[in-house]
Amino acid sequence: MAACCDDFVCTSSPAVENSVRTLARDIQRADGSWTRRILAPDVVYKDNFRSFKGIQGYDSLDFVPNVVSPSRVTIRRMRMLRQDLAVVEWVLEGRLGPLSLSVQGETEAQLNLLSGRIVEQRESWPGAPLPWTLARALWSVGKKTKDTVRDKKQFVE
């Protein structure tokens, strides 16, 4: 990732640049942990199957480390579309059960210009292989079910 990050030119504030570089490192690490200091408290996350609001939702973004093994993410490109909108393009390679897979993905982050924090993150995987799509959909249903049960318990308490 160093070469890609070294080529990245941020056209925004230093805080935004730091957050975009940190986001790219989080994506490349692919271990399910996210640097919380770059996320706004009410950050919105969306992908093809899952969405939530708030930092706590990032605790459950563990599909890759729990389902794809071993996994390796390569950052292909980082760019600014606007001063408050960055895109990180990446490729995930690994095994999904007995199948080898390669998924090209894109992470779009809308950022607060002053704080540099991510206010919205969108993930997409255009043309992803069918096994990835099915596994991701099933994982998302399981996470949504757990979230619903947790929320109902909290409401009752």
Domains and CATH numbers, the chain: 2-156 (3.10.450.50)
Q: What's residue 28's pLDDT?
A: 96
What mean pLDDT do residues 37-62 have?
95
Q: Which residues on adjacent β-strands are paired with residue 149?
A: none
Instruction: Indicate the SS3 state at residue 142.
Output: helix
Q: What's residue 5's pLDDT?
A: 54
Distance, in Å, from the CA atom of 157 to the CA atom of 146, rounded to the nearest integer, reads 17
pLDDT tens per residue across span 4-46: 555 677 778 899 999 999 999 999 999 999 999 999 999 999 9
- 57 with 144: CB under 8 angstroms? no
> Predicted confidence band at 1 (pLDDT cuts at 50, 70, 90)?
very low
Distance, in Å, from the CA atom of 130 to the CA atom of 135, rounded to the nearest integer, reads 8
Instruction: Indicate the SS3 state at residue 2.
Output: helix
DSSP character string of 2-19: HHHHHH----S-HHHHHH
Distance, in Å, from the CA atom of 125 to the CA atom of 136, rounded to the nearest integer, reads 11
Q: What's residue 101's pLDDT?
A: 95
Q: What's residue 7's pLDDT?
A: 64
pTM tops 0.85, yes or no: yes
What mean pLDDT do residues 46-61 have?
94
Q: Give the CA-trace dihedral at 53, 55, 60, 64, to 10 degrees.
A: 100
- 54 with 76: CB under 8 angstroms? no
